[in-house]
Amino acid sequence: MTLLSALLGFLLLAGRGGAPQAIDLSTYRMVDLTHAYGSRTVYWRTPEHGGTHLDAPLHFAEGNRSADQVPLEQLIAKAVVIDARPQAEKERDYRLTREDVLAFEKAHGRIAAGTIVLLRTGWSRHWPDAKAYLGDDTPGDASKLSFPSYGVDAARLLVEERRVAALGVDTASIDYGRSTDFQVHRVAAAQNVPGLENLTNLDQLPATGALVIALPMKIEGGSGGPLRAVALVAR
């Protein structure tokens, strides 16, 4: 038995007759088996915000949780995928609206507290072409970036009213590319909600029902960290 099959066997517990049943995380005690990376770790400290990564609340809210302090319950949770591809195809700098979220809920039900919300724009198809993905590839200049993401009103609804666990997106930031004030980051960070950025393969997930496991490198005091994010989807 491979490690992966053993993990899947544990996560997808067999019910009566061998039929899979959903995990109820409340029946488990989560134990963190990882040392935090820090100044005394025998390892060179790596960049925190490259590739698929987590933005910790500390990144935009001094004194809030760092990468090693984000609770596991916010990193292992059921997910919903909001599809904004049609809007993003028409407007490169599209920002998800409150109305978009409410329309999603009308079709799929109210987003439960503790859910990881993933925004699908289709942008990962441009990876790793930096100019196509970011809108501009001028070294050291972020003034011309252009890509879709969350709008502040949608973020407030999700973070403050729905109390979601995390915001994820298949672009470079949970704020849209032309943002200069990073309000979505600030709204999320104020409530200790992390961001999951540069995700991919969101097209392989259903609108509801997937389980996401998004565990960042545990960098002590880090404002973020490289992320290995996976999703479990029922067959």
What pLDDT shows up at residue 141? 83
Residue ranges for the chain with pLDDT beneath 50: 1-7, 10, 13-18, 42-44
The CATH number linked to 130 is 3.50.30.50
Instruction: Check 59, 108, 126, 185 and give the catalytic one.
Output: 59
Does residue 22 belong to any structural domain of this protein?
no
Averaged pLDDT of the chain: 85
pLDDT (0 to 100) of residue 201: 93
Per residue in 201-231, pLDDT (tens digit) is 999 999 999 999 999 989 899 888 888 899 9
- pLDDT for residue 149: 98
Is residue 31, in this structure, part of any structural domain at all? no
The answer to whether residue 24 is domain-embedded is: no
**Distances, alpha carbon 175 to alpha carbons 50, 152, 163, 217, in Å:** 16, 8, 18, 22
Residues facing residue 37 across a β-bridge: 219
The residue segments making up the domain with residue 179 are 37-232
Q: What global pTM score does this model have? A: 0.84
Residue 199 lies in a domain: yes
Number of domains making up the chain: 1
Per the annotation, the verdict on 59 as an active-site residue is yes
Tokens of 71: 């609770």
Q: Is residue 58 part of a domain?
A: yes
